Structure 1
Amino acid sequence: MSNAYEQDFFSWTREQAAAVREGNLGRMDREHLAGEIEEMGRSEQRALAARMAVIVAHLLKLEVQTERTSTNEKSWRNSVATQRRQIERLLGKNPGLRNPAILAEALESAWDDGRDWAIRETGLDPEQFPSEPIYDLSGILGEYR
């Protein structure tokens, strides 16, 4: 089984799906199958952190970049609203992501990525951006004021 997994992942997935549907435990590559199922969950967690990073980046730009156009501001606010809506959908489909430890981990990752993104996009001195999070979970997921 391990050879098929490493040499032809696509065919391996089809074989494993068939084995699961048939209930044929003997044909299942349990170790790799379990790893792939866990990876699917981690993928949802990464999606959460990525959406949160977009919010962080745009909130920071709104906070720090005082010289901006109304078009930029409108675009950033719309992006924040869209990402919040998408996060709510993601959490609705994956209630396990609401676990406080998972949310905290996603927020930590999102802060670093979002801050870096805002620095790159604005071209401003990194010192102008707080190195420690200034938004908590409700600030990221709640309405921007």
Structure 2
Amino acid sequence: MNKHLWKSQLTPYEADYALWCAEQGAILREGRLSDIDRENLAEEIESLGRSQEDEIESRLNVLVMHLLKWRYQAERRTPSWQATIIEQRMRIAKRLKASPSLKNYPASVLDEEYVTARLRAAGETGLSEAIFPESCPFAIGQILDAAFFPEER
């Protein structure tokens, strides 16, 4: 990257995102703060934090759905369900380790994620939605506990 880019030569955010990112990184490294695209850069940094939350929500949803399937369709349990449960727990734990400020985030979104996980579990199992409790039958500690696998109901 040319260390002597003039502001007028910088790529607009909307024109080429990858090039814009590379240019903004170079500008930061060079300490040319007056040339920074402040608004778009601030938006991008904030979206990085939101993406961490989105990942936790998605993984929690998949995890809860598989725990429901594990409990309510015990006769169809597969090693792949177990592997999915283990993987989602590990990936959530990894994300929480990297961002300790999100430690309580899974608990704060559990009720919301349960609604979708319940619908997905019903759809994937072919069981009536009424089979699954209206509120999550698992505590967040159980959900994230590597040793927890719910027994059949």
TM-score, with length taken from structure 2: 0.80
Q: Distance in 1 between matches of 2:26 and 2:109?
A: 34
Per-residue CA deviation, residues 80-106 of structure 1 (Å, 9 max, x unaligned), is 1222122211111111111x3x23333
SS in 2 for 1:82: helix
The root-mean-square deviation of aligned C-alpha atoms, in Å, is: 2.0
Q: Counterpart of 2:38?
A: 30
Q: What 5-or-longer segments of structure 1 have no aligned partner? A: none
Any conservation in 2 of the 1:45–1:106 contact (CA below 8 Å)? no
Q: Return the index of the structure with the highest Cα Rg.
A: 2
Deviation of 1:113 after TM superposition, in Å, equals 2.9
Alpha-carbon offset, residue 117 of structure 1: 2.0
- Residue of structure 2 in register with 1:74 after alignment: 79
Q: Which has the higher helix share?
A: 1
Task: Answer yes or no: is 1:63 the counterpart of 2:91.
Answer: no
Structure 2: stretches of 5+ with no match in the other structure: 1-6
Whether 1:131 aligns to 2:134 is yes
1:120 partnered with 2:123: yes
Q: Which moved more, 1:109-118 or 1:38-47?
A: 109-118
* 2:96 aligned partner: 91
Relative contact order higher in (CA < 8 Å, ≥ 6 apart): 1
Tell me how far 1:66 sits from its aligned partner.
4.4
CA distance in 1, matches of 2:85, 2:75: 19
Question: Match of 2:61, as an amino acid?
Answer: A
Contact 1:20 1:28 in 2 (8 A): yes
> What secondary structure does 2:135 align onto?
coil
